[in-house]
A and B are shown apart, each in its own frame.
Chain A
Amino acid sequence: MRRPQYVLVVGLLLASFLAGCAPAAAPTAAPAAPVKETVVVKETVQVPVSAAEQEWELVNPAGVRQITPIELAPRITTLEGKTVVLRWNGKHNGDNFLNRIAELLAEQIPTAKVIKLWESLPESAAIVNTADGLAKVTKATQDLKADIVIASQSD
């Protein structure tokens, strides 16, 4: 140890002695905890119902379905000379998609007559879910003498 450090250590020890400090006490053994006598539970413990197996009779909550089947419309075999009604449900870009389909139909099947329903019936550009609303859309489509409807939906 170099001299300055030696002086510092001796000084600190002396200061500690004067301040009443003492070396850390050596650990002493902890007092022994009183030993409890082991108790054996002999009485029967009731198992909660939630954990016990049992026979259950239950009512099936699903309910049976009621759907009135409807027939598909007769299909067409060509778009040549047909009236094609495009139906947009108001979702973003559905009109842009169908606008492009209209352009392609005009280019590739020029004899097809293409009608955008949302232009003749603006309220059809929505998710129509009432009986009145659906009837209105259906009638407008029939009035246009549609041979086929191409619809765009989804997000």
Chain B
Amino acid sequence: MEKVGIPTVTVATSEFLGLSRSTMESIGLADMAFVEVPHPMGMIPLDEIRAKADAAFPEIVKAATQWKPEKTTIEGLGESPYPAKRIKFTGSYADLNKMFFEKGWSLGLPIIPPTPEAVEEMLKGTTHKPDEVVWVVPPRMGQLTVELVATLGVMAGCKPEHMPLMLAIVKGFSDENMGWRGTTTTTAATEPMVIINGPIVKELGIGYGQGCMGAEQPVNAALGYFVNLVGDIVGGSVPPEPDKSTQGSPADYVAMVLGENEDANPWKQSYAVEQGFKPTDNVVTVFTAYPGTGNIDHNSVKGTEILNTMVAGISGTASGISRCLTGPSTGGTGVGWLFMLVAPEHAATMFSEFKTKQEVQQYVVDNTKLPFKGYAPGLCKPPESFGPVTPDTLVPRFTDPTQIRIVVTGGAGKQSQLWGAFPQVVKPVSVLVEN
């Protein structure tokens, strides 16, 4: 608004003023008229929020009519992003790790030292020029050059042959449909998710079978670590400001990276092919999600039986934030996408009755329901055509089969995972991996 000549006053709570100021600076303002109110504003009774408005009103009027900026310029701008500065340091490997953490250049886990030689070697894995800026990463708006992709890749334990994947992952997360700023500063424990399809999965040893989302998957782990190094170091999203994650999660260290188990996909249509890619294409799909929930069904024999236990889990994913009757493009206002990471055995059971993924998706949409009282107040407003609603009326969460995404992954066992996308994900983004 300021940019188009309309002055603003922004009301923020004491706990969120830091994030507000960070956002302000990243959009190019050195100062703004803020009015601080005591935290919280949400989840308090009406009389309390009205009392906070009463108390803040004089300050709001003052900010609207008398405020003047204390700062007019943003410091530290105008430097060239390439080449990155070199640092001389004397100390042990442990000292180096300590120094990197203290300077905000690592997450606290050990890193592999990004020596110029190691970075140069990593750059051999791509045809992109090292000075190319591939992303200006919010909220800090750090310029991520190809050189820095290589640098962070070295630190995370990636290898030169991973460069095309790293660049594809960056391209995906930088897409505006991803809502990266929100996902990386939210109070929610959101997790960056990366799904990899194509021959590259086997060629590079990406985990797609037994325990693919767990430990002892060095390529998945290195790529996942790389994602968070990008977000926290170049993007600057660290707690407590501007990353407001209330509790955080292990995925703040290592993002979730998995390959699809295409051989075990009974529908013979991988996720990437479903999105319009060729089976021979190497494809990275990214989105961010609330912590997933497990489906641990050892008993279902029929397709409907396994799907019934799946929808029971899906109904409860991201509880509290879920809205009813969402559509596929509800960025910012509801969980619009749901990823079913289905174990091969569960997929086979589904396939015994549902011969296409579309049938599965439709069944999930038709049956994923919550009682009206299970939606947080104000988040479920069925249209009149839905009919009368009591607290126990079952109201669907989704309306469109394409909101349900199916990926077959993992090894033997009867375990699947259900991940609801962060609401600011306008849509999951799939990117072709290129050199």
Contact partner of B89 (CB less than 8 A), chosen from A56, A109, A154, is: A56
Q: Would A73 and B8 count as touching, CB distance under 8 A?
A: yes
B86 interface contact, C-beta 8 A? yes
Q: Which residue of B lies closest to A137 (CB)?
A: B1
Q: A63-B148, A149-B1, A154-B13 are in contact. Are A56 and B91 (CB under 8 A)?
A: yes
The yes or no answer to B187 lying at the interface (CB within 8 A) is: yes
- Knowing A65-B142, A76-B7, A130-B331, the reply to whether A55 touches B93 (Cβ < 8 A) is no
Complex: chain B residue closest to A104, CB-CB: B57
Knowing A91-B41, A130-B426, A150-B8 touch, does A57 contact B80 (C-beta < 8 A)?
Answer: no
Pair A92/B177 contact, Cβ less than 8 Å:
no
- Number of B residues contacting the other chain (C-beta, 8 Å)? 105
Provide the bound-state CA to CA distance between A92 and B73, in Å: 34
Point out which of A50, A68, A93, A126 has the most chain B C-beta atoms below 10 A from its C-beta.
Answer: A93
Question: How many residues on A have C-beta within 8 angstroms of the other chain's C-beta atoms?
Answer: 65
Q: Which of A9-17, A19-27, A37-45, A140-148 forms part of the interface with chain B? A: A140-148
A52 to B40, CA, bound (A): 50
| Contact code string A122-151 (vs B, CB < 8 Å = 1, else 0) | 000011111101000010011000111111
Map CB proximity to A onto B129-149 as digits: 1 under 8 Å, 0 otherwise. Answer: 000010011001111110110
Query: Would you call A8 an interface residue if the criterion is a C-beta within 8 Å of the partner chain's C-beta atoms?
Result: no
- Decide if B125 is an interface residue (CB 8 Å cutoff): no
Q: Which of A50, A71, A130, A151 contacts B11 (CB 8 A)?
A: A151
Check B87–A58 contact: CB distance below 8 A: yes
CA distance A153 to B17 in the complex (A): 10
Residues in A whose Cβ lies below 8 Å from that of B90: 53-56
Please pick, from A51, A64, A77, A129, the residue contacting B179 in the complex, using a CB distance under 8 A.
Answer: A129
Chain A residues whose C-beta falls within 8 Å of the C-beta of B151 in the assembled complex: 59, 61
B42 with A73: CB separation less than 8 A: no
**Contact A69 B52, CB 8 Å, known A57-B87, A58-B113, A149-B9:** no
A65 to B77, CA, bound (A): 6
- By a CB distance below 8 angstroms, the chain A residues around B77 are 65-67, 69
Min distance, Cβ A51 to any Cβ of chain B, angstroms = 6
Contact B233 A73 (CB under 8 A): no
| A129 and B182 contact, Cβ closer than 8 Å, known pairs A65-B140, A72-B2, A151-B11 | yes
B385 within 8 A of A: no
Smallest CB gap from B33: residue in A: A75
B10 x A151 contact (CB < 8 A) = yes
Report the bound CA distance from A28 to B2 in whole Å: 93
Which residues does chain B contribute within 8 Å of A2, judged by CB atoms? none
Pick from B57, B68, B332: contact of A126, CB under 8 Å: B332
Chain B nearest Cβ from A75, distance in angstroms:
5
Instruction: Determine the residue in chain B with the shortest Cβ distance to A63.
Output: B142
> What's the Cα separation between A97 and B10 when bound, in Å?
12
**Residues of chain A within 8 A of B56, CB atoms compared:** 101
The verdict on A73 contacting B136 (CB below 8 Å), with A61-B84, A62-B105, A65-B77 known, is no
Inter-chain contacts of A148 with B (CB < 8 A): 6-9, 64
26 pairs across A/B with beta carbons < 8 Å?
A: A50-B92, A51-B94, A53-B95, A54-B91, A56-B87, A57-B89, A62-B233, A63-B81, A66-B133, A67-B28, A69-B30, A71-B2, A71-B3, A73-B4, A90-B332, A92-B43, A109-B61, A127-B332, A127-B424, A138-B1, A141-B6, A150-B10, A154-B39, A154-B40, A154-B42, A155-B187
